[in-house]
Amino acid sequence: MTTQERDKAYVAGTYNRFPLTVVSGKGSLVKDEKGREYIDLGTGIAVNSFGVADEVWQQAVTAQLGRVQHMSNLYYTEPCGKLAELLCRRTGMKKVFFSNSGAEANECAIKTARKWAAEQKGPEYATIITLKNSFHGRTITTLAATGQDHYHELFQPLTPGFVSVTPGDAAELETAAEKYSCAAVMIECIQGEGGVVPLPSEYLAAIRQVTEERNLLLIVDEVQTGNGRTGDLYAYMHDGLKPDLVSTAKGLGGGLPLGATLMGERVENVLGFGDHGSTFGGNPVCCAGALSVLERIDEPLLAEVREKEKLIRHLLEGAPGIETVSGRGLMIGVKTVRPAGEVVRACMERGVLCLTAKDRVRLLPALNIPMELLEKAVRILRDACA
């Protein structure tokens, strides 16, 4: 059997994979089993922050592998605490809970918000307001938080206590906050799976006002937007938001599974002994890799990310077959005249890997993709759109 035949025979059919088997890569170039090279503008969906087989990350990971690969959370290991310290120093948050994925990072944020609200306001204050068109994960609770009905249909009943409101409509948010006994509002600053749709700044200001006036927590899901992706360390930083809880994953681990829930002042001590846990959470190898990622997401790199956005917009905005370009930094959505899936397939034939998000082509290249390579790939995308 070929790799693809074996996969189809034995792996659960939850993914509609492209007919491409990746066997190796370096930076923003990956190779299939015939040795054909592709420019990768998807990075495993915003995971490989510094591309494939990045040497600094590889060294950090293999050095830790040679020391100890796992010890459970019954004991201390050095990388876990160091990563938590760096996350807190870079964000002003106070504590971190580590898990293994974005969905789990959100689960922890939700549990923390519910416990905080029960203690501060009463157990009935359990409702979490999320936004329509959001995406927060695939567990039964994070599906309930996800404001897209088509993800819910086959999996009822979901966890109760979630309502979703229309993004951009401050009055609807206000009404929901009045009507329900709420613990928190949970948002993505740019709805990634929803089609790379940024929330308007005025709406973010309205969210801040509602959460402050009504004593609600603000949870910002930075699973996709986080870790340098949008040209700041976290996307909420562009708009001066002060979240109480930040969830992140994907690019933090640089290619190994790692989720993190960052807890601000109001909630830093909400979770105590026995309230939450994860066998693999804070795994030393994943944390060592993440440290090497986070240490390099500095201002010069973030400035580079912003420059790369300018290049992409310069090449794509107004080009034939392109309707709009949305997003920020290296999280870009392109509304094309041709169906997005067709454009992605055409790009793949021409040696460029990109993604879709709803009806848009989505670009999530490595933060350190060389300018010339990015330009080459985006020109190929532009030709495929025309």
Binding site for ligand PLP (CB under 6 A): 101-103, 106, 135-137, 188, 192-193, 221, 223-224, 249
- Which C-beta is closer to ligand PLP: that of 84 or that of 109? 109
H-only helix segments in the chain: 3-10, 43-46, 55-67, 78-91, 102-120, 140-145, 170-179, 201-213, 284-294, 299-316, 340-349, 371-385
The span from the CA of 112 to the CA of 269, in Å, is 9
ω into residue 300 within 30 of 0, thus cis? no
- Which C-beta is closer to ligand PLP: that of 246 or that of 385? 246
Please list, residue by residue across 167-179, b when 16 or more beta carbons sit within 10 angstroms of its beta carbon and e when fewer do.
Answer: beebebbbebbee
- Which C-beta is closer to ligand PLP: that of 261 or that of 368? 261
- Which C-beta is closer to ligand PLP: that of 108 or that of 312? 108
Do residues 41 and 352 make contact, with C-beta atoms less than 8 angstroms apart? yes
Contacts of 298 (CB under 8 A, 6+ apart): none
- Which C-beta is closer to ligand PLP: that of 77 or that of 146? 146
The span from the CA of 118 to the CA of 115, in Å, is 5
**In which element (H, E) is residue 127 found?**
strand 127-131
Do residues 191 and 135 make contact, with C-beta atoms less than 8 angstroms apart? yes
Could you tell me the smallest distance in angstroms from the CB atom of residue 55 to ligand PLP? 25
Could you tell me the smallest distance in angstroms from the CB atom of residue 43 to ligand PLP? 13
Could you tell me the smallest distance in angstroms from the CB atom of residue 376 to ligand PLP? 27
Instruction: Name the strands in the sheet holding 29-32, side by side, starting at the edge strand that comes first in the sequence.
Output: 22-26, 29-32, 37-40, 352-353
Instruction: Name the strands in the sheet holding 355-357, side by side, starting at the edge strand that comes first in the sequence.
Output: 322-328, 331-336, 360-363, 355-357
Could you tell me the smallest distance in angstroms from the CB atom of residue 74 to ligand PLP? 25
- Which C-beta is closer to ligand PLP: that of 101 or that of 292? 101
Could you tell me the smallest distance in angstroms from the CB atom of residue 161 to ligand PLP? 18
CA 162-252-135 angle, 5° bins: 25
- The residue whose Cβ lies closest to ligand PLP is 102
The span from the CA of 196 to the CA of 359, in Å, is 10
Task: Tell me how crowded residue 88 is: count the other CB atoms within 10 A of its CB.
Answer: 17
Could you tell me the smallest distance in angstroms from the CB atom of residue 338 to ligand PLP? 24
Side-chain half-sphere CA neighbours of 263 within 13 A: 19
The crossing angle, in degrees rounded to 10, of helices 78-91 and 284-294 is: 30
End-to-end CA distance of the chain: 38
Do residues 138 and 149 make contact, with C-beta atoms less than 8 angstroms apart? no
Do residues 79 and 287 make contact, with C-beta atoms less than 8 angstroms apart? yes
Could you tell me the smallest distance in angstroms from the CB atom of residue 323 to ligand PLP? 23
- Which C-beta is closer to ligand PLP: that of 80 or that of 131? 131
Could you tell me the smallest distance in angstroms from the CB atom of residue 190 to ligand PLP? 9
Could you tell me the smallest distance in angstroms from the CB atom of residue 269 to ligand PLP? 25
- Which C-beta is closer to ligand PLP: that of 231 or that of 253? 253
Closest C-alpha among 311, 326, 307, 323 to residue 376: 311
Could you tell me the smallest distance in angstroms from the CB atom of residue 202 to ligand PLP? 22
